[in-house]
Chain A
Amino acid sequence: MGLINMPYKIIKKIQLGNSGTLFEMDIDAPLIANKAYAGNFILIRINEQGERIPLTIADYDRDKGIITIVIQVVGKSTLLLSHQNEGDEILDVVGPLGNKIYIEKYEYPIIIIGGGVGIAPCYPQAKELRQAGNKIISILGARTKDLIFWREKMASVSDQTIICTNDGSEGIEGFVTKPLKELISKDKISLVIAIGPMIMMKNVAELTSGIEELPKVKTVVSLNTIMIDGTGMCGGCRFPAKDGQIHFACVEGPDVDGHIIDFDILLNREKRFAEFEKKSYDLYKKECKHLKIG
């Protein structure tokens, strides 16, 4: 395999759903693809002025040397990334970071919950765990049906797929916890995996922690906290355990035991740059309007 700083070219870009905010991108990154596995993430820096943002690897193809990411526009960096097109190059891509998921054949089914853009990283996990002989029940949730994607792709690696939307525009009306509660109260489940907004992961972890007559089910959540280097150096990604211990999402995660996390502190930590994020986003949107981008 050759080295010499290859450009990270966007090979393919497609819009997902109908919201105009979700995009799937294939990036030419053979060294990363070669080592990537379910659970790993990358850090990217789009251009010289860019910040380093973590993105979970949603798929990879070792033969073609590409990794797939799915992004949802939530701030400046993701909006800027969504404005990159096939053939454009991303300045820096580094990885694969974080730990691979733990694979085992469990006695009972596994429930994999993807919320919004979090559906994407569920795919490689479902795929690998199913290949290991597990029964997979997938729950895909979002605010509305336009934000649901990869229905067939997820169905292809699941024994059962449940869709739910807050507004009832598709599938069950309500949060992902609604079908989850039903499933864990009636059947034995070995493992729950939840990837999505922090608040969703918090609610899932609470529901499976052994409350209200419900059984306690081991629950793994994927933390995509604010970080810079992704190798344990900055400490920005740290999250508190309920016992006060300090953990680093980048090197101990991204997949961690959802029952140990103090979500309330973590939710607050993730807001610490909110005013800056808004300023950055507003300035860039203004610039886009001026330059007629997007």
Chain B
Amino acid sequence: MKIPRQKMREQDPSERIHNFSEVTLGFTEDMVKIEVERCLQCGDPKCVNGCPVNIDIPNFIRLIKENDLLGAIRNIKEYNILPAICGRVCPQEVQCEKACILSKRWEPVAIGALERYVADWERENQLKECPDCEAPNHIKVAIIGSGPAGLTCAADLARAGYDVTVFEAFHKGGGVLVYGIPEFRLPKEIVEDEIDTLKMLGVKFEYNRIIGKTLTVNDLKEMGFKAFFIGVGAGLPSMRKIQGIHLNGVLTANEFLTRANLMKAYKFPEYDTPIKIGKVITVIGGGNTALDSARVALRLGAEKVIIVYRRSEAEMPARREEYHHAVEEGVEFQFLSNPTRFLGDKDGNVVKIEVIKMKLGEPDSSGRPRPIPIENSEYLIDCDTVIIAIGTDANPILTKTIPELKTTKWGYIEADENGKTNLEGIFAGGDIVTGSATVISAMGAGRKAATAINLYLKSKY
């Protein structure tokens, strides 16, 4: 393989930490032309199996090569209705690109960048067309939650002819794509644009509807909905009762990111929602949410951002690419450290955190080495804000109103690999079934559930 993998263009780190514009800039036409030549068009393509929604990767790459970009985007959309999103936030390095045959000796084909390129090309040239749909069958399906699982499920069912309504608790669609993932990683106009594709398919969106509060599943049944997909995510922030947790300046990543992303607090006072940051920010956790929080903090003007993570660099659950971006931007990392308490000043504002050093022990239930505190190794870090990003749990608001629905002892919905729950006509997928995972795995679950819902409804009506 003489041709090297094309390198994603990026905003310079010293510049991008002062703006919320997208970090990665995509491939140019010339780069795409070179990159598609790298694909070997394998007879037995491994990449397709590496993709949770089984995009026909060699074929769309071949279509690009033949200069048929419209054909390429149509091909992708047969499998994935949200390519501009997936091209950006999927962890391709552990999915399709990891499976790419080239990765055995060289670098894999930049599949994600190519997917993004065709999706962006379609959007920028306003060539979006309504994907093919079956004739309407007037059977109503309710999708609860408009995150990646719900959107995918909605799209597949709409294409199969169903009358689909998506119910969203917030005032905007996209779930974690709009409240969680920051603008510089996934511009919100792209999410809106992908949602517009669903609207073209006839999918209706009902915002400000908390199912379990504004309406219940029983109300929806009375309104004529015949099947339900629950994709409400895992929204409750984990918080530990440790000393100083109630100090001002200590907040969850959910609050921090929702203020910044959904409520656009970075535009205060043009937007009314405030966000307080200070000079030195510590972020507790090692996942994508921790990195997103750290990088938002930098862009809000923090002088120093320190990520405190209890395991080492190798065990960080965050995407490698995002970790490198964060390092480039100057985020500091204190690995093998865990907070023991937060200390405040006389006005009740956090000013320091105390952390204890950790060492790695035997693997725990997650398969990663268990972090063990090293006695008497505590030290202090000065800071003005502490952002807690140690994970999320299931939100009971909906499940509480369907007591017959089987859940695990942690409150996650019990569903089989096709999203089937113990209740007839009720399906579930995404984080509310698996616990926190990725956008694409939620999309995969939404797709499988759509197939199962279609089979179920076909058998009944």
By a CB distance below 8 angstroms, the chain A residues around B213 are: 35, 95-97, 231
CA–CA, A42 and B90, complex, Å: 36
By a CB distance below 8 angstroms, the chain B residues around A269 are: 246, 248, 348
A170 on the B face (CB < 8 A): no
Q: Which 5 A-B pairs have the closest CB atoms?
A: A276-B274, A234-B255, A235-B252, A51-B272, A94-B208
A24 on the B face (CB < 8 A): no
B101 on the A face (CB < 8 A): no
Segment at the B interface, from A139-147, A171-179, A239-247? A239-247
Q: Which range contains the number of A residues in contact with the other chain?
A: 35 or more
Please report which residues of chain B, range 225-280, place their CB below 8 angstroms from some CB of chain A when the two chains form the complex: 235-237, 239, 241, 243, 245-246, 248-249, 251-252, 254-255, 258-259, 262-264, 268-274, 276
A235 touches B254 (CB 8 A): yes
By a CB distance below 8 angstroms, the chain B residues around A96 are: 213-214
CA–CA, A32 and B255, complex, Å: 25
By a CB distance below 8 angstroms, the chain A residues around B254 are: 233-235
B273 touches A32 (CB 8 A): no
CA–CA, A1 and B270, complex, Å: 37
Please report which residues of chain B, range 137-196, place their CB below 8 angstroms from some CB of chain A when the two chains form the complex: 165, 169-171
- Within 8 Å by CB of A234, from B223, B249, B258, B347, lies B258
Taking the nearest CB of chain B, how far is it from the CB of A35, in angstroms? 7
Residue of B nearest to A94 (CB): B208
By a CB distance below 8 angstroms, the chain B residues around A246 are: 239, 241, 245-246
A-B contact count (CB 8 A): 132
Segment at the B interface, from A198-206, A211-219, A277-285? A277-285
Interface of B: prevailing SS: loop
Residue of A nearest to B274 (CB): A276
By a CB distance below 8 angstroms, the chain A residues around B347 are: 268
Please report which residues of chain A, range 227-253, place their CB below 8 angstroms from some CB of chain B when the two chains form the complex: 228-229, 231-236, 238, 240, 244-246, 251
A51 touches B263 (CB 8 A): yes
9 additional A-B residue pairs with CB within 8 Å, beyond A229-B169, A235-B251: A51-B273, A51-B274, A94-B208, A231-B210, A234-B258, A251-B397, A265-B246, A273-B274, A277-B274
CA–CA, A251 and B348, complex, Å: 25
Taking the nearest CB of chain B, how far is it from the CB of A277, in angstroms? 7
A77 on the B face (CB < 8 A): yes
* Given contact pairs A94-B171, A233-B258, A246-B241, A50 touches B272 in the complex (Cβ within 8 A): yes
B255 touches A240 (CB 8 A): no
By a CB distance below 8 angstroms, the chain A residues around B251 are: 235-236
A92 on the B face (CB < 8 A): yes
A259 on the B face (CB < 8 A): no
By a CB distance below 8 angstroms, the chain A residues around B171 are: 45, 91-92, 94
By a CB distance below 8 angstroms, the chain A residues around B210 are: 94-95, 97, 231
Taking the nearest CB of chain B, how far is it from the CB of A260, in angstroms? 14
CA–CA, A5 and B252, complex, Å: 31
Residue of B nearest to A264 (CB): B348
B418 on the A face (CB < 8 A): no
B370 on the A face (CB < 8 A): no
A92 touches B269 (CB 8 A): no
B395 on the A face (CB < 8 A): yes
A3 on the B face (CB < 8 A): yes
- Within 8 Å by CB of B272, from A76, A94, A271, lies A76
CA–CA, A91 and B263, complex, Å: 14
A276 touches B237 (CB 8 A): no
A49 touches B271 (CB 8 A): yes
B333 on the A face (CB < 8 A): no
CA–CA, A31 and B207, complex, Å: 12
